[in-house]
Amino acid sequence: MGNGFQNRVSSLGIVGAAVDKGQPKDGVQNGPKAIRENGLIGLLKKLIDRLNQILKAYVLLTLYYSMLDAKVNDYGEITQPKDSEPDVILNCENQRALVKTTLELTECVSKSVSENDMTLILGGDHSIGIGSIAGHLKTFPNSFVVWVDAHADINTPGSSESRHTHGMPLSFLLTQTSKLIPQTQGFENIKPVLEANQLLYIGLRDVDLPELKFIKELNIPYFDMHDVKRLGIQNVMEITLKTIMRYCPNCHIHLSFDIDGLDPKYAPSTGTPVPGGLSLEEGKYICRTLGQTGRLKSMVVAEVNTSLGSAEDATVTVKSAQEIIKSALLLD
């Protein structure tokens, strides 16, 4: 699927999604800012520039490979108005804000993936998965989604007990489950764009019974944490790559990484931590393996909430987020 050295990106788009209304805990909307203010963009520019110089030297020696000057293009942040009135429509809290943000994010991500080798979307709660994937698939419909998360996020408004939309993004996206969502009150503007055979889960360990039923009925491949420990992350990723190849040997990949996919030891500052998760090295291995394919076109990092836990917890979580990003970009 590609050579890791040659597949480092030459242009990176960054989209902030300062979204918090898909869940009840304040602070997750500051995730993009926290990651940025801890030097991510400056670090990426420095690392990409350094690697670009290495690649140029490599070109002079081999006359084999060329690369344009690396660029980091920041598309700013999509936000939700703080004064927006809460609403509950069809068992979804803050549905109007969800629709507005989703449509804006879809257009922004679509623009970025069309203009850059790779797009990084910084959340924000994981309801941003709807607009992020919709935007990617708007430009590259024949793509595959790898979803790293402690949770399946495939509840429908009808099956959800919490009414929080950060637990529903995939049900809006999948053609097979979206039919269970009434197309009223703005929902008609969110179109299903994903088929079940375009999706694979890694890291599951807190899945609701209705979600498990959907996953099994739709035959969505998944690796829960029992599978990860039993098989080892290297074997998990070998199977993942074979699954992607069976879907389409040349398709682009979208990686959606909820930071709670990591064990709370490595990501304590998140809204719904679940013990027994991925180690940081396992998370980095997932990202690096997908990056090495040369087909990783976009990546979400969601649910970093530095308002939760101690200052040390926040620092650990932000650092973990930065580490998995660097691995996906082959900059570690």
> pLDDT exceeding 70 applies to what percent of the chain?
72
**164 annotated among ligand-binding-site residues:** no
Helix 233-247 vs helix 280-292: angle between axes, to the nearest 10 degrees?
30
Q: Around 45, how many Cα atoms within 13 Å sit in the side-chain half-sphere?
A: 10
End-to-end CA distance of the chain: 20
- Whether 158 has a pLDDT exceeding 90, the answer reads no
Look at residue 76 in the predicted model and tell me its pLDDT. 85
SS3 297: strand
Residue 151 DSSP code = S
Distance CA 116, CA 139 (A): 12
Domain ranges of the chain: 11-328
* Strand extents, DSSP E, 39-168: 71-79, 88-89, 92-93, 118-123, 143-148
pLDDT tens-digit series, residues 291-332: 999 999 999 999 888 888 898 998 899 889 989 998 998 887
Which H helix or E strand runs over 54?
helix 40-62
- Whether 87 has a pLDDT exceeding 80, the answer reads no
Q: What is the 3-state secondary structure (H, E, C) of 237-294?
A: HHHHHHHHHHHCCCCEEEEEEEHHHECCCCCCCCCCCCCCCECHHHHHHHHHHHHHCC
Distance CA 325, CA 320 (A): 9
Instruction: State mean pLDDT over 120-133.
Output: 90
Look at residue 61 in the predicted model and tell me its pLDDT. 32
Give, in words, the CATH class of 11-328: alpha beta
**153 annotated among ligand-binding-site residues:** yes
Look at residue 276 in the predicted model and tell me its pLDDT. 98
pLDDT tens-digit series, residues 259-283: 999 999 999 999 899 999 999 999 9
SS3 321: helix
**166 annotated among ligand-binding-site residues:** no
**126 annotated among ligand-binding-site residues:** yes
In this structure, what token pair is assigned to residue 222? 């998944």
Short-list 251, 252, 9, 12, CA closest to 115: 12
**258 annotated among ligand-binding-site residues:** yes
Instruction: Supply the Cα-derived Rg of the chain in whole angstroms.
Output: 19
The better pLDDT of the pair 225, 1 is held by 225
Residue 70 DSSP code = P
* Strand extents, DSSP E, 186-248: 199-204, 222-224
The pTM of this model reads 0.85
- Whether 211 has a pLDDT exceeding 80, the answer reads yes
Q: How many CB atoms lie within 10 A of CB 22?
A: 31
Instruction: State mean pLDDT over 71-80.
Output: 83
**151 annotated among ligand-binding-site residues:** yes
